[in-house]
Amino acid sequence: MTKEYVPISPKLDIANQNTMDALKILDEGGVEEKVTIINEIKVQMIDILNHFIGCTWGAHYMTLFNKMIIPYLDDPKVLQFVLKGPVINDNKGNVFRGKSGTKMYEELYFYLKRVEAERFKDFLSSEFNRA
């Protein structure tokens, strides 16, 4: 008999409440704990990106970016989903559009070019046709 799949509920609200707890586990936790946190970061990446884009607290903004987005954002579809949502609006400066209807602004594009995953970099250059 096969068990029904039950998705794992996040143990931490990484984007908003438990950022430092997650980072402490990444720095000091055991292998299994680290794998669990990395998987949760990837599952919660939409929330992390939305929080990053809307965040006005520089220390938190940069921590999310440097410790979670740069190393673990590897699925362009996640970014595409976020960039089609309401988080990018005209309050962010000069908003420009990508080929698939995504929205972007210069400062965010500047940051996202630093994400490490090669397929992510390919998506950015293809979607926005920029150097």
Is 47 part of any domain?
yes
Condensed to tens digits (0 to 9), the pLDDT of residues 55-82 reads: 877 787 898 899 999 999 999 999 999 9
What's the burial of 7, exposed, middle or buried (CB within 10 Å: 0-12/13-18/19+)?
exposed
Is 34 part of any domain?
yes
Is 4 part of any domain?
no
| Tally of structural domains, the chain | 1
Using CA atoms, how far apart are residues 22 and 62, in angstroms rounded to an integer?
Answer: 15
* Amino acid letter, 64: L
Is 14 part of any domain?
no
Model pTM above 0.95: no
Q: Are 103 and 79 in contact (CB under 8 A)?
A: no
Residue 122 domain boundaries: 19-128
Is 9 part of any domain?
no
Condensed to tens digits (0 to 9), the pLDDT of residues 5-37 reads: 555 566 677 777 778 888 888 889 899 889 988
Is 43 part of any domain?
yes
Using CA atoms, how far apart are residues 58 and 78, in angstroms rounded to an integer?
Answer: 23
